[in-house]
Structure 1
């Protein structure tokens, strides 16, 4: 997990970090789930190198939704290392700068948090090389599955790795002392239904866009959040 001033991204490594052809990281393939804000590219590259991996092995960047704290650095990273950028079809026009991001319907207690979120710098128009749909399989993690979970944004997705019991939820779920529905939703009813769908996947590990991942009892934590 790479943590930024607001939000975080995750690096998935397939293969062996130690190459069989003489270079560190040469036997691996890397996938980035989200990319941080527009200033995060250097930190992501440095973080990959500190893990003993070569950033040139970054094959894809999967964006969970079209908010600037999640896709701001995607274009720069993709240009540096040749990665493909992927996002759901409904959020792709926002990420490309063709459509304005939808305004959230804020609850009163979310207003101070929203003011803080607005300090994230604007993201540049960013290409999307592949538009995703619910159920698409992605070639990492033994067959990652796209889970469309609208509500936070129309094109929000989770990324489920059933073989490993890992679920990346984006901002559809958050952790702030307890697991909870993500904030700043465009449609709260849809968001609640999406939380229930993600909980039904019963992962062993759940990785959120904001807050500490659940590495134990993730299924129970998600179920409890859905019931609340």
Structure 2
């Protein structure tokens, strides 16, 4: 779905252990670059390719992947993309996420489950085993690490906003010209309302709260949430409401 010139939201669906889930990756296109923000679950390359080409854009033009963080539903198909595109595709993420994505460190979701493995019910142990396999097959090298406040030269400038808490190196991307925030998992949309991510799935909830407050520095008119899609309206007012509820 095109939301502005060169800015598309790719609405993808996944069936994870019998549960249906919708996710929203973002595609950015300018004269020289085609950039995919997050890459869905493992095995969704075909869906991603189909969604890109439905917008009339050649998928093989892709030359950059930006990962907002390490979770399997964000990095899952990156390795397939790198293997299947006949050109160099650079992978970018925050410096704090690099070691988790390339396999030097254990992903935080895996580590959290392993800490409680002896006490987990059988159904959660199955989830753990599937996650472990998924991460092992999704390791990729990161070509460039990003830092807070860095500006990327695409679509009038994209500011990297370091928003740790959900994971150690979670980032949002702020499209300066359009006043659009690509929020990763720091925010989501439920029943049409912008909400904060469930604290139970955050790596560090106190840090996540500080990161939500940090978003008030930006004049935001539209939020693209990985879970829930697009939110428009008085975004800064809504974020202030979320902060007051913390």
TM-score range, shorter chain: 0.7 to 0.9
Query: Quick one: which of 5, 18, 25 aligns to 1:9?
Result: 25
For residues 134-174 of structure 1, what are the alpha-carbon distances to aligned partners after superposition, in whole Å with 9 as ceiling and x for unaligned? 11121212111111101000100001111111111111112
Q: Find the counterpart in structure 2 of residue 201 from structure 1.
A: 218
Change in CA separation of 1:69 and 1:86 when aligned onto 2, cut-off 3 Å: same
Q: Find the counterpart in structure 1 of residue 43 from structure 2.
A: 39
Change in CA separation of 1:117 and 1:189 when aligned onto 2, cut-off 3 Å: farther
Q: Cα offset for 1:71?
A: 0.6
Q: 1-side partners of 2:155 and 2:238: how far apart?
A: 23
User: TM-score, normalising length from structure 1?
Assistant: 0.83
Q: Which runs of 5+ in 2 are unaligned?
A: 1-8, 15-20, 114-123
Q: Cα RMSD (Å) of the superposition? A: 2.5
Q: 1-side partners of 2:170 and 2:189: how far apart?
A: 17
More deviation in 78-87 or 189-198? 78-87
Q: Cα offset for 1:117?
A: 7.8
Change in CA separation of 1:193 and 1:38 when aligned onto 2, cut-off 3 Å: same
Q: Find the counterpart in structure 1 of residue 79 from structure 2.
A: 75
Does residue 101 in structure 1 map to residue 107 in structure 2? yes
Higher relative helix content: 2
Does residue 51 in structure 1 map to residue 46 in structure 2? no
Q: 2-side partners of 1:150 and 1:181: how far apart?
A: 14
For residues 176-211 of structure 1, what are the alpha-carbon distances to aligned partners after superposition, in whole Å with 9 as ceiling and x for unaligned? 232222131111111011011123313111111211
Whether the 8 Å contact between 1:96 and 1:126 is mirrored in structure 2 is yes
Q: 2-side partners of 1:164 and 1:44: how far apart?
A: 24
Aligned residues: 210
More deviation in 131-140 or 184-193? 131-140
Q: 2-side partners of 1:187 and 1:213: how far apart?
A: 25
Whether the 8 Å contact between 1:169 and 1:198 is mirrored in structure 2 is no
Whether the 8 Å contact between 2:33 and 2:64 is mirrored in structure 1 is no
Does residue 87 in structure 1 map to residue 93 in structure 2? yes
Q: 2-side partners of 1:226 and 1:211: how far apart?
A: 20
Q: Find the counterpart in structure 2 of residue 21 from structure 1.
A: none
